[in-house]
Amino acid sequence: MYGKIKESVTEDLHLFESKLTELLCSEVKSVDIVLEYINSNYGKRLRPVVMFLVSKLFNKDDALREQLIDYAVSVETIHQATLLHDDVVDDSKERRSKPSVNSIWGNKVSVLLGDYMFAKSFTAMYRYKNFDIINIIANVVKVMSEGELQALELSNTLSYTEENYYQIIYSKTASLIEASCKVTGIVYTDNLELINTLAIFGKNIGIAFQMRDDLFDYTDDNKLIGKPVGNDIKEHQITLPLIYALNNSSAIERERILSILKFAIISDAQIKDIINFTKAMGGLDYTENKAKEFINTAIKCLDIFPDGNTKNNLIDFAHYMVNREK
């Protein structure tokens, strides 16, 4: 499904890839090698794709199109920079079934390159001097950092609730997708209703996207998804499937699972135990249904726009976010 969706914005993506390569280059040869590796392996281009899809809801304007592509490059660069930092924080050895940057070049290179990419992103955005957009993106970086810190705090206390789960996944993931859609609206229109509606669309598909990602932690086929099974559990991160299971289990069983999560190192057998517990308590089904609710809310936002291929592509994109298999 995603391949077909991308076909509808092929020309925009070609220009995007060219500009991304141009932005992510350095006169330092060793840096250039790592940047090329990042550009090839870090991301599905979800954020640029949704920006290009949203832009087709408006009248075509080549000058505005160039702006949008530059903003899409900036957004994707920020996304990639956060992934570099995330892999260091999580001590991840793989990213999308390939060795992570930190596993090849070390944590110092990953952190410094992430900082470098943040700087490049904001330098590119400053070209148009749209301080509303710069402020939106700067605030998102702040929110994403807060989300990571909140998740770290909760991993130490294990005091997760469904409410703070949504707060965290909004901060860590959905906020940047929300901003991607909002920025696109700002580029093309002054209509605040349309801009805010697009932001709500982005927020909801972003939340559903992360919920789907969290479900992969309980999926047996890690070769398909490119992510180690049980990794969140190993990192003491309790996501919605397990939150629901714990909230609907007996006090004895809840305490047993929480006692495992308090261990500094959780064994593979214990991870399997927690996964089986979560499945048996209906945590996966609950999460899937909740994710679909967010997608339905997102699709409802599109009612404000006329029917047609562009709207249908956005609807398909929303469904992909919750039905994807990797």
Checking if the pLDDT of 226 tops 60, the result is no
In the predicted model, is pLDDT for residue 42 greater than 70?
no
Lowest mean pLDDT among 46-50, 220-224, 263-267, 321-325: 220-224
Cα torsion angle, 178, 183, 186, 188, sign: negative
CA dihedral 134, 139, 141, 142 (to 10 degrees): 150
Percent of the chain with pLDDT strictly greater than 70 = 97
What length is written for the chain?
326
Q: Which residue has the higher pLDDT, 231 or 221?
A: 231
Tokens standing for residue 89? 């924080």
Tens-digit pLDDT profile for residues 262-320: 998 999 999 999 999 999 999 999 999 999 999 999 999 999 999 999 999 999 999 99
User: Residue 103: what pLDDT?
Assistant: 92
Give the Cβ contact number of residue 254 at 10 Å. Answer: 15
Q: What is the mean pLDDT of residues 177-184?
A: 98
State the Cα–Cα distance between residues 88 and 141, nearest whole angstrom.
17
Q: CATH number of 2-323: 3.40.47.10, 3.30.70.2390, 1.10.600.10, 3.40.640.10?
A: 1.10.600.10
pLDDT of residue 231: 83
Distance (Å, whole) CA 124 – CA 173: 22
Residue corresponding to tokens 């904001």: 122
The H or E element spanning position 83 is helix 62-90
Contact 233, 275 (CB under 8 A): yes
Q: pLDDT band at 29, cuts 50/70/90?
A: confident
What's the rounded Cα separation, in Å, for the pair 109 and 26?
14
Predicted local confidence at residue 219, as pLDDT: 82
For residues 196 and 58, what is the distance between their CA atoms, to the nearest angstrom? 15
Residue 152, CA distances (Å) to 53, 216, 236, 259 in order: 34, 20, 9, 18
DSSP 216: G
Provide φ and ψ at 57, rounded to 5°. -75, -15
Identify whether the C-beta of residue 53 lies closer than 8 Å to the C-beta of residue 315: no
Write out pLDDT tens, residues 112-138.
999 999 999 999 899 999 999 999 999
Q: What is the pLDDT of residue 320?
A: 95
Q: What is the per-residue pLDDT for 174?
A: 98
pLDDT per residue as tens digits for the range 199-223 = 999 999 999 999 999 999 998 655 5
Higher model confidence: residue 30 or residue 52? 52
Domain boundaries, the chain: 2-323
Residue where the block lists tokens 């995330």? 86
Helix (H) or strand (E) holding 99: strand 98-99
CA angle 23–24–29, rounded 5-degree value = 130
Per-residue DSSP letter, 57: T
Report pLDDT for 27.
82
- If phi > 0 it is left, if psi is from -120 to 50 it is alpha, else beta; for residue 266 that is beta
Which value, to the nearest 10 degrees, does the dihedral of the CA atoms of residues 307, 310, 314, 316 take? 90
| E strand or H helix at 273 | helix 268-280
